[in-house]
Amino acid sequence: MGVPRIDGGTLFIDGRWGEAAGGSTFESTNPATGERLGIVSDASRDDASAAVAAAAAAQAAWAQTTVYERSSILYQAHRLMTERAEELAQLMTAEQGKPLRAARNEVRYAGDFLIWFAEEAKRINGEVIPSANSGQRFLVLRQPVGVVAAITPWNYPISMITRKVAPALAAGCTVVLKPAEQTPLCAVAVFRILEEAGVPPGVINLVTTSAPAPVGAEFLESARVRKLSFTGSTEVGMQLAGGAASRMKRVSVELGGHAPFIVFDDADPVRAAKGAALVKFLNTGQACICPNRIFVQSSVMDRFRAELEHRVAALHAGNGMDPANAIGPLIDRASLEKMERHVGDAVARGARLAAGGARLTGGDLDAGFFFAPTILVDVTPEMIIYREETFGPVAPLIPFESEDEVIAMANDTTYGLASYVYTQDLGRAFRLMEALEFAVVGINDINPTSAAAPFGGMKASGLGREGGREGLSEYLETKLVGMVL
Ligand code: NAD
């Protein structure tokens, strides 16, 4: 059977859908079944350059629209995304693999960014600052930074786009987006919505490509791009941030995490284990906020572990289209191999498997990249899994004795994105939220994220914040005007 070619091409440049100038294409495939979903255009650096030129040409007129016009377009986009939520969720499950219920949640979250920034757009306020000199006035203007180049990952293939594009549009910036090569169809679906919502030609541009590096080089080297916003791995993010720094471009990077999940003996270990199971296996462990080191105070370890094992035993793996399945496939073979490496190394160094530990095969599972939800006990600092982001369904349990000890262990990483603490002691909750070197802290809370709140990383987990008021500031320049009248 032939693979459907996406009609008219998947590059969206200057308000027109088209093929790559060289005619190249690549395929998007379903990670659960191996089915080929569609043929998309494969942009070269020249295509990226044309997209940047279109964004640059549209910038001045877009910056001059009123915040009310920009807000109204974002409201329209939100309405369309809500109307098409089911269609988008099914596409996401097919292309990225997460269970349909999780895909529906992500579409809602993606819509939240559209509506939040539709509202925030109206609050791009300036300031008047008193001067020490009579007759002098200071004005502070907030203006769009200019053309934004955005690069998004495959694990949240719709919400990571609106989290960047909505604030950029609200601020008055034009955008060129390069989505992940694993999920181009989700990006096309979002762009169709933005186009239909009335975003003018050139204001948003899409370059799907299987070769990210040349497109990334164009974003860095083109003087017309004023800001780079990236979500993805720490390795690539650091490389791009370095390139942006040497050209004095503004940059926001949301990178990897290595979240500690800390359970104290004053907390209910059953409730904590329920939370751990939900957030650890979210998106099959492929979220930057997934716990990667689960620290449990020794006196409650047995009860915590029993409940976690019970919950893990109930997690079915398989195609996310089937509501019985809570664990979808990993995105590709390399991810599967990484799980095998992390688990193999831990077991070789003395960890024990309390659940899972291997690739899942047999029947329909053979066609996808499925790995069993896994629990490792007696994990120690020499193991790779203690140091590196796993990005998969493996839960490493580490016992601890004291508060000071666990704070030191939790902070002993170059990463600083999400962290979780289960405690009923208010004083301890405050000590932990202040001591943890992580930019997001959940206290008895496994979902400390919202379009209304600033999200991002400290240390090697990133620079800048997305969502909240801060998410809009990332796309605004601050201009000082001194006036003597
Ligand atoms: P990745 O860095 O390989 O890819 C992310 C994006 O960067 C993709 O669009 C890819 O095509 C692009 N890219 C890769 N090499 C590039 C280059 N040389 N130039 C320009 N673009 C390039 O990451 P991944 O493995 O696909 O994504 C998973 C990572 O993303 C994890 O580490 C995860 O923690 C992180 N992540 C972070 C957040 C956050 O908000 N902090 C959210 C989601 C994912």
Q: How many domains does the chain have?
A: 2
The span from the CA of 205 to the CA of 178, in Å, is 9
Q: Which of 224, 229, 232, 222 is nearest to 250 (CA)?
A: 229
Report DSSP state, residue 171: H
Domain that holds residue 327: 259-450
Where residue 59 sits, what CATH number does that domain have? 3.40.605.10
Ligand 1 neighbour 254 (Cβ under 6 A): yes
For the residues 198-216, what does the mean pLDDT come to? Answer: 98
Closest CA to ligand 1's atom 9: 180
Residue 360 lies in a domain: yes
Burial degree of 125 (CB within 10 A; 0-12, 13-18, 19+)? exposed
Are both 295 and 373 inside the same structural domain?
A: yes
Are both 264 and 309 inside the same structural domain?
A: yes
Are both 424 and 469 inside the same structural domain?
A: no
Alpha helices by DSSP H, listed for 321-422, are: 333-348, 384-387, 403-411
Residue 1 lies in a domain: no
Catalytic residue of the set 95, 120, 186, 288: 288
Ligand 1 pocket check: which of 249, 288, 459 to mutate, most ligand atoms within 8 Å of Cβ?
A: 288
Closest CA to ligand 1's atom 35: 232
Are both 139 and 181 inside the same structural domain?
A: yes
Known active-site residue 186: no
- Is residue 1 pLDDT above 80, yes or no? no
Residue 40 lies in a domain: yes
Are both 133 and 146 inside the same structural domain?
A: yes
Q: Which atom of ligand 1 is nearest to the CA of 455?
A: 40
- Whole-number pLDDT of residue 7: 78
Closest CA to ligand 1's atom 17: 213
Ligand 1 neighbour 236 (Cβ under 6 A): yes
- Is residue 346 pLDDT above 60, yes or no? yes
Known active-site residue 403: no
Are both 271 and 329 inside the same structural domain?
A: yes
The pLDDT mean for the chain works out to 97
pLDDT tier for residue 3 given thresholds of 50, 70 and 90: low
Q: How far is the CA of 419 from the centre of ligand 1 (A)?
A: 20
Are both 193 and 278 inside the same structural domain?
A: no
Catalytic residue of the set 254, 307, 466, 474: 254
Ligand 1 neighbour 388 (Cβ under 6 A): no
For the residues 99-104, what does the mean pLDDT come to? Answer: 97
Q: How far is the CA of 466 from the centre of ligand 1 (A)?
A: 16
Task: Say how many C-beta atoms besides its own lie within 10 A of residue 436's C-beta.
Answer: 22
Are both 334 and 215 inside the same structural domain?
A: no
Residue 455 lies in a domain: no
For the residues 336-349, what does the mean pLDDT come to? Answer: 97
Q: Find out whether 218 and 70 touch, Cβ atoms under 8 Å.
A: no
pLDDT tens, residue by residue, 420-460: 999 999 999 999 999 999 999 999 999 999 999 999 999 99
Closest CA to ligand 1's atom 42: 288
Phi, psi of 129 (to 5 degrees): -110, 130
Structural Rg of the chain based on CA atoms: 23
Are both 100 and 233 inside the same structural domain?
A: yes
Phi, psi of 363 (to 5 degrees): 60, -135
Residue 115 lies in a domain: yes
pLDDT tens, residue by residue, 171-206: 999 999 999 999 999 999 999 999 999 999 999 999
Give all strands (DSSP E) within 126-196, no chain letters. Answer: 127-129, 136-144, 147-151, 175-178
Task: Say how many C-beta atoms besides its own lie within 10 A of residue 390's C-beta.
Answer: 26
Residue 3 lies in a domain: no
- Is residue 2 pLDDT above 60, yes or no? no
Where residue 347 sits, what CATH number does that domain have? 3.40.309.10
Q: How far is the CA of 254 from the centre of ligand 1 (A)?
A: 9
Ligand 1 neighbour 210 (Cβ under 6 A): no
Q: Which atom of ligand 1 is nearest to the CA of 152?
A: 9
Residues paired with residue 264 on neighbouring β-strands, in sequence order: none
Ligand 1 pocket check: which of 95, 155, 176 to mutate, most ligand atoms within 8 Å of Cβ?
A: 155
- Which uninterrupted H or E stretch holds 428? helix 426-435
Ligand 1 neighbour 216 (Cβ under 6 A): yes
Closest CA to ligand 1's atom 26: 153
Q: What is the 3-state secondary structure (H, E, C) of 18-43?
A: ECCCCCCEEEEECCCCCCEEEEEECC
pLDDT tens, residue by residue, 376-413: 999 999 999 999 999 999 999 999 999 999 999 999 99
